[in-house]
Structure formats: C-alpha cells, structure tokens
Structure 1
Amino acid sequence: MKVNKLQELKLYNISELQSIFDLPEDKTREILKTLAYKNIVRKISKNLSNAELEELNNGESFEQLNKEFEGDNYKFKFVGIITVKDVCLIIYPKYITEFDENFDKDNKIIKQLIEVMRKYESKEQKQFLSNNEENKNYNLLALAIDLYDDYHVNGLYSSEKTIIEENGEREILWDKTINEKDAYFINDVPFYLDFFSVNKETNEEDFFRRLHRCIITESYNKIEEIFDILDYEPINISDDEIDYFGDKEYIMTRLNQEMSIQFIDKKQKQLNMMKNYFLETENSNEDEEIKFIGTTSFNLVWEKVCAIVLGNSLDKKLEDLGLDIIDNTENITLKEVIPKLKWKVSNSKEHRSAKTLIPDLIVYDKEDRSISIYDAKYYNIILTEKLLKNYPGVEDISKQYLYELAYRDLIKRNNLKIKENAFIMPTDKKINPEETNFKKIGKEIGTVEFEIFSKSLELKDIKIVLTPATRMFEKYLSK
C-alpha cells in the first residue's frame, strides 16, 4: 500500500491529488466528492462563508489570498488516517512542519495522535466515528481498531457451559446426589462417598465466541498495513471463514437474539461491534470504499487535552475550592460565577438568557492563592520580529479580557491574584527545559494587547504560549 503524508489545511490542487491517488481525474474527483460529503476535504471556493474561509486558512483573512480561488484547490479539514483503494493518507495536524524521511518518528506521532483522539471520544461518551447501529455509513478502519483493542482488554466473547461431574472439586449438587447416590448413615447422620458436582467453564465452541474470533482476524487482515503503521502486534486467532457461520441475515438474527438476553455491558458492546462489522461490510463497495480514523474537529481535542493536563477547575464548587461565595449566592461552580444576560420588557418583566461567556480553562492554585485563565487555541501562529500570521481574532482576544473582568469580584473578595491570562497553542518544535517559563509546559513567545482593556481597565496583556504537543499528549494519555 502506497503511503502519503499530507498536512491538515495545506492547499493541494487537483493535479497533486491525482498524483497522490494515482488515479485519473474523474476517479480522483469521485473520491474527493465522497470525502467532501464526510466533511473531510473542502474545495476552496468563493461560495464559502467568510467564517469557513478563515477556518480553512488557519484563521487568516482571505483578502490577500485570491490566488487560492484559481483552479481546483482543496484542503483537508481532518487529522488522522484515510485509505482510498491502495493509497494510505496520513494527515498530520497543521502545526507539524517537519517529517521524518524514514517514517519511524512520524509513525510514532500518528499512533499517539490516534490514541489521543480515541481517548477523547471515549471520555466524551461518543461512538467513535459514528460507529453506531443507526448510522449506515460504517467505517472498517475505526471498527477494526475497536475490535482489536477490545480483544486485548476484554478477551473473546464468552459463554459458560455447565458440566456435571462425579466427585468433582466444585459445588456439590445435593438434590441430584441425594436422589441418585447411596447414603451411609453414622449415628443417624447421612454420608455420601460419591456425589455429583457442577463445573462451569468457557464454551470454546460457542457460536458467538467463534464468530468473534473470526471477525477480529478477518478485520485485521483487511487493513494489516494500517495496523503495521500503528505498530500493532499481528493477530491470527481463527481459521474459520465468515461464510461458515451462515448468511448475513441468519447471523444478524442470532446476534439480535443474543443481545436481547445479554445484560453485561462488556458483552453487549462486543455483540454490537460484531453487528456493526456486518453492517459495514454489507453497505461498503470494495471498489470505492474509503476507510478513515481521525477527527474533523482536532481543535476540540486540543482543548480537552489542555483542560485535563492543566487541571480545569471550571466545574468545581467554590466551597470545595475553599473560596467564599459571592453576594449570598448558592454554592455555585467557577463556571457559574459569570452572570447570564438580563433582558427586560419595558422595565418590567426580566428574562435571563440561557448562555453566557464560558472560558476554556480556569486553574485555581490554592497554594499561592491565584487564578489562571487559559484559552487552548488550535492555531499555527507565527510571531516574529518580521512576521505575524495565523493569530486569534479580535473577538477571541476581547473575550479573554472579559473573562478576567468577570472574575474580579471573586478575586477581590477572596484576596486572590490573576497569575496568568494566556493563549496556549501547540507546536512540534523542541523546547529545552531551561527555556520553559510557563508552568513547565511551554514557552512564552510574546503577548497581545488590546488598549481598550489594558489602559482603561488596567488589565494585563495576554500571553502567547507555545507548548510541545507531543509532551502534552503523553501527559493526557497517562491520566
């Protein structure tokens, strides 16, 4: 399988993609159309909204980028792995700029990224990549990895068979023993020299256990090259063919019947994955099939990683943090400190809006009595003496100042201080420990100031911090 490395949100024209896919133009366009339907790739067009255009260009305005509208140009709004026919596309996050020619380093990076995205989806209690019974667009790549990982954690689907033994070591079947064995009486007390006992053991010939074993092996073999890239150990635990178990209608009926009487969550999950495997293979066209694992919203993954690693206090109660409440309010959370909007009808009836400002991340440090306000920004920023590119907009900067204002009363009442107010952005650059000046996770490369806030309200400039993403992911995966 041919492996190509691409970069998220990098511009690719139709000729480049034809060369990558090694397909004629019409087939390449069919694949791009399918990927666009899945929101994985976007064609750069003036018909897109300004917000979409800015998102697809790392936050920059398109005023100086008219050349991108010339010809057929595409950007992958995706991080992960895609297989198209005999081509494997490894799409790295936009902040990664250097690739290892021999793939060893890059394979470790993509494996870590996949682990991070899968943990994120698991914690959010979502089925990975729409892998659920009601969705008809199943994805073998994600499902095969789910099957593989579940097998190494939970083993094969199991059911027990009951074996009745004579003079065994397990629980004695007294009713059967009394009815069928001779008793010997000593001082009117019956003794049984022979007895029946019951032994329960895993039924290796169980239909679902053998089916599970077969599906795991077959799904691995279908994408063996991808498992190799992710450094998964080979697996071959079955010599059976799927056809041996009957046609798909019969197998699905058996699986549904078993699910209706099975109430153990682990087993329900395994049965559902087996069902999804048949639904996926039934609905896929092997000639046009596109398999993928990853996300179109890596910014949300980055936010969650930062929140977990730094220790988000937003949902913690003030009382639990040892902080005094404000204006005799209830024991609210840090997130609820920020008030909601008031709407009044002709100075009479008052309404409260459902939404308000919510920071990405608030860290309360009890030891030094401080609050830090962070915004995990998924931007590939360039901030040097000669150049400024890919930076947060006015709205993002304004909100960061407003968060500090929103917590002023709480800070004053509890004699706290604002320790940090910063944007945290990922980088693939190495940062030496002696250069780290930001909670041992990153390096401050500059600040941004909005004079409306900094001068009139005496608020500090917002810091711009780059943190090595790989190190953050290691910490996230260890928690």
Structure 2
Amino acid sequence: MKVVSRYVREQKRYTKNDLKSKFSFDEDGVEKFIKNLKAYGVLKSVKNTDDQLEMSDLVDDDVEITDETAESGDCLYVFTYVGVITCGSRVIKVYPKYLLSKKDDNVLDEMKQVVKVLERYSRSEEQIINVFNGNGENRSFNILAVILFLINDYYEYGIYTNSEDIIEVNGEGEILWGKTIDESFAMIEDNRPYYMELYTEKSVEDDMDYFKRLHECVLTECSRQLRDAQLDTLFDMDVIELSEEKLADFGDKEYVLERIIKELNLQFNTHRQILLKTLYAYVSQDRKMLDENDGISMFGTTAYHAVWEKACAEVFDNKLNTTLTQLKMTVPLAEKYNSKTAKRQKLIDIIEKPVWQGEDTEAKAADTLIPDLISIPCVDGKDWFIIFDAKYYNLQLEKGKSLRGNPGVGDVTKQYLYQLAYKDFINAHGIAEVRNCFLMPTEKKDIVKKGCARMAMLEALNLKNIQIRLIPAAELYDNYLTGNHMDITRLDL
C-alpha cells in the first residue's frame, strides 16, 4: 500500500483537480475523499470565483455550497483545520494560513512547532483524548489521537509495570521495624537493643507480567504505524522497538479485553486506569491508521483562533483572571476596590453587566463584555493599561490593494467599549497610559507595525484607537512553549 503524505495550507482555495493531483486520486477516489472530509467538518466548499481565489480567510458570507453543486466542479475547497488528518492511506498535514510565502514541501520546521503548540494547548485546556470523531454514520475511531496519547504517555511515565512486595532478612530495602522487633532476637548492650537480623521490604517488578508485555507490544506497533504514515519526524518521536510479539500472541480479542477489564477492577491509580482504558480502546477497535476505509483520524483543531488567543494571553501576561489584590501595580489598590468583597474580585469581574429594567422589576444579565486579554505592565516606572485582542487574521492593508482579512466593525467597537468598561478603574489608579491593540500572526521574524483601526465618533470620546501589530508566530510560540513573556515595549504602542 502506497502512503501519500502531503501538506496543504489552511484556508487556501483548492480546485478538485488540485486535490486529485496532490493526493494521487482517480475521479471516483477524489469524490469520496472530498465527501469524507466534508462530513467531518474539516473541508468546506465555496463558489469558484476570482474573488474567492484571492481570499485568505473564510468568512460568514462565504456560504458553503451543496454536495450536488460541488460534484459539478464549479467550486473551490477550503481546509478549515490546522493539524494532521489521515483518510485511508492519505495523510493530510494542514499548516496555518499565515505561512503565505512557504511552499508545501518547505514547512516541516514550522509545522513541528505548531504540533508542539497544539499539544501544549490541549494539555492546558485539560482536553480528554478524543477516541472518536464525528457522530452517527460519520463516527470513526480516532486511531491517530490514541497512538499519540500512548507514545507520549510512555515518554512521560514509562512502561506499565506490576510489582510485588518481598520481605527479606538483612536485605537492602526499607527496614520493617515492627516485624523486626516482634520476631527477631535482640542483644542488649548499654541498655540499647541490637538486632542480628533485620526484616526488610523491597518491590520487585514482574518482567513477564502480561500487561507489561501487552503495553510494549502495542507501543511498538503504534510507533511503526506512525513511521509508516511518515509522521514520526513531524511529531519528533523516535522509533520504539520494545517487543517482537504480535497482538495475536496475547490471545483472541475477547480474551485480551477481558483481561484488561479485570486489571482495571484492581487498579485505583488514576493514570493507570486511563492507560488501561486507552489500551482497551486500541485493542477493541482493531483498526490500523492507514486502513482503506471511510474512517478519518485527526490531531489538531478546527478552531485554531482559540490556540492563537491562548498563546497570546500567556505570552503577554494576561491579567483578566487575576484578583485585584494580586495585580502588583506601582500604586496601592484604590479605596473603591479595596473592600473585603471588592478585592476578592478578578479584573474581569468589574466589567459592568447589562441591567434589564421592567415596569416593576429589574434583572442583571449573566453575560457582559469579555476582552481577550489585558496587561498592566510597568513601563519606565509607570503603570500602563493595555487592552489586547488576539485576532487570527491575514490582514491585507497595503496601498493599491483592497482591504481584506480585517476584523469586523463589531470587533472594532468592542475594543473601544473595553476601555470605557475600565474607565473608572483606570482613573481611580491614576493610569495615564492606556493602549488598545489587535495582535495578528505573521511568518516574518520581526514585529510589524501595521497601522490602526479608528472610528472618529469613538475617538472623539477620548478613547484610544486600536493599534495593529503583526507578531512573529514562531517567536510567540517559542515563548508559549517555554513559559516566557514577551517584552511589551517592543510593540512600540
């Protein structure tokens, strides 16, 4: 079986012939391929127009056209996903849309970093392993996610082992003083007992344990599947060769699953339970990653904007969920915010909520404005209040070109309103420097001052216009992965 592993760019428009050629399909094969990807929500189709060919983002106005129209070839196809997808023997590696100048065969380094970012984002959001994709008729076993979980778990925790506690006389383990005092003979000298024999305890691992061998066998098989799919380099995973056994050597599927269930009933360690359940899923589904069927396996997200927002929030030291007493400003917390109740609030809690007034009643809404992130850095000995909005857009704002890939008017007005929402807090603490800024990704190595977004009627209220900064995604991700902050003064706000 020939594996076809190719890169595509998120949000780029592809024709049916592009996909047919890139993934080595005949006409029937590419139709089935497109139908499967659309069913799982990772591929969209839009009208085949000159405007669409020039677009770098899919917006609400780009209404998806029906499958019947799609079959006529009068449409373009858009991957709305970042990550890795396997569909039979085809491996689709979707890299982010802001890598505009990169060729498909020259994005390995960037994609390796993106994969690490996706892994860290998944851990930080405490996302549970997605064992299945889709639902109903489109439900399929997510073998890639299971394989990656098992291998990463092995790197972190090692092989599943069962140990037995053995009691020895004068061994090297921990001394069991209770048993030694009760059962050993002591010699007394200077009113002190001296024991000739000490009972000790040590744990001995059973190298022939069934589950240790099963774990080694599955890991070896998973590693080979990753290598066969040409994904071992992308995920930075060495080949794991721990076993020469096959799954069939452990008994038929029903027997293996029964043994795992019995072991689960004996284990109370949370990590061991998760590992055993994942092994159960792997064995029970009896599916290989490159099987020629309609199932799709995925590692990534259709909401990469959330990943960008999370990375920006951490790297630019988001204070939204920080309690007021922990803000560490250069001035004490103002009296208004220093009461017992108020100082337990988080910065996000002081944004006013709408009040609905009736004839004889009033009620406060549950929701209100929520900024992406707010930073309160100390710059040259003074507190600054900076309202950021992480926008995962490819902005076209150049002379002689039409405006494209820009946030909508709602995004712009909300940024102004965030400053109004914090006006009292800003004034109460004498913060003179307030800034507003959109953060967008770029493949370039330096921060780009792209300009600003402004509305005269809101500018007239002494509200700050929204600066636009393109942030080098590679540098931001490096900081996100290492837990470091970027120097906000570099933004030159």
| TM above 0.5 | yes
Q: Name which of structure 1's ranges 172-181 and 319-328 shifts more when overlaid on structure 2.
A: 172-181
Q: Matched residues in 1 for 2:47 and 2:236: separation? A: 39
Q: 1:418–1:404: structure 2 CA closer, same or farther, 3 Å change rule?
A: farther
Paired residues of 2:169 and 2:198 also in contact (CA < 8 A): yes
Is 1:383 aligned with 2:401?
no
Q: Secondary structure at the match of 2:231?
A: helix
- CA distances 1:34-90 after superposition (whole Å, capped 9, x unpaired): 2222211112269xxxxxxxx983448559x9x999713211100011233333222
Match in the other structure for 1:333: 346
* Offset of residue 189 of structure 1: 9.8
Name the structure 2 match of 1:51: none
Q: CA deviation at 1:185?
A: 6.6
- TM-score, with length taken from structure 2: 0.83
Post-superposition CA distance 1:455-479 (Å, at most 9, x none): 2x12222111101101000000001
Counterpart of 2:478 in structure 1 is: 474
**Residue 486 of structure 2 aligns with which residue?**
none
Shift in CA distance, 462/172, structure 1 to aligned 2, threshold 3 Å: closer
How far residue 119 of structure 1 moved from its aligned partner, in angstroms, is: 0.8
Cα pair 1:141 1:293 within 8 Å, conserved: yes
Instruction: Give runs of aligned pairs for residues 291-310 of structure 1, distance below 5 A.
Output: 291-310=297-316
Q: Deviations over 1:257-312 (max 9, x none)?
A: 32233222332232232123224435989212433211111000000000000000
2:6–2:23 contact (8 Å) kept in structure 1: no
Partner of 2:18: 16
Find the counterpart in structure 1 of residue 318 from structure 2.
312
Q: Call closer, same or farther: CA 1:129–1:186 in 2, change over 3 Å.
A: closer
State whether residues 392 and 441 of structure 2, in contact with CA within 8 Å, keep that contact through their aligned partners in structure 1.
yes
Gaps of at least 5 residues in structure 1 are 47-54, 432-441
**TM-score in terms of structure 1 length:** 0.85
Looking at structure 1, the residues matched to 29 and 419 of structure 2 have their Cα atoms a distance apart, in angstroms, of: 53
- Determine the structure 1 residue equivalent to 2:117: 116
Describe the shift of the 1:449–1:279 C-alpha distance in structure 2 as closer, same or farther (beyond 3 A).
farther
Unpaired stretches in structure 2, ≥5 consecutive residues: 49-54, 484-493
Moved more, 168-177 or 369-378: 168-177
Deviates more, 1:267-276 or 1:118-127: 267-276
1:262 aligns with 2:277: no
Q: Is the 8 Å Cα contact of residues 307 and 360 (structure 1) preserved in structure 2?
A: yes
The one of 422, 442, 459 equivalent to 1:427 is 442
Instruction: Give the aligned residue type for 1:122.
Output: R
2: distance between equivalents of 1:449 and 1:308? 27
The percent of aligned pairs where both chains have the same amino acid is 32
Partner of 1:140: 143
8 Å CA contact retained: 1:118, 1:128:
no
Contact 1:173 1:196 in 2 (8 A): yes
- SS at the partner of 2:291? coil
Contact map agreement 2:162 2:206 (CA 8 A) in 1: yes
Cα–Cα, structure 1 residues 90 and 180, in superposed 2: closer, same or farther, change >3 Å? same
> Are the aligned partners of 2:7 and 2:104 in contact in 1 as well (CA < 8 Å)?
no
CA distance in 2, matches of 1:222, 1:62: 38
CA drift at 1:14: 1.7
1:6 aligned counterpart, secondary structure: strand
| Distance across 1 between alignment mates of 2:62 and 2:201 | 75
The DSSP-based 3-state class of the residue aligned with 1:453 is helix
Aligned alpha-carbon RMSD (Å): 3.2
* Matched pairs, number: 453
Q: How far does the alpha carbon of each residue in 1:100-148 deviate from its partner, in whole angstroms, 9 at most, with x for none?
A: 5764xx212111111101111111111244569x996332222212211
- The 8 Å contact of residues 89 and 290 in structure 2, kept in 1 or not, is answered as no
Distance 1:319 1:283 in 2: 54
**Compared CA separation, residues 458 and 196, structure 1 to 2 (3 A):** closer
Tell me: CA distance 1:190–1:37, structure 2 relative to 1, closer, same or farther (3 Å): same
In 2, the alpha carbon distance for the partners of 1:426 and 1:148 equals 31
Distance 1:337 1:325, change over 3 A: farther
CA contact (8 A) 2:89 2:291 kept: no
Q: Deviations over 1:309-333 (max 9, x none)?
A: 0000001122222432647662221
What is the distance in 1 between the residues matched to 2:415 and 2:194?
82
CA contact (8 A) 2:87 2:290 kept: no
Alpha-carbon separation, structure 1, partners of 2:169 and 2:292? 58
CA contact (8 A) 2:140 2:296 kept: no
**Structure 2 letter corresponding to 1:117:** L
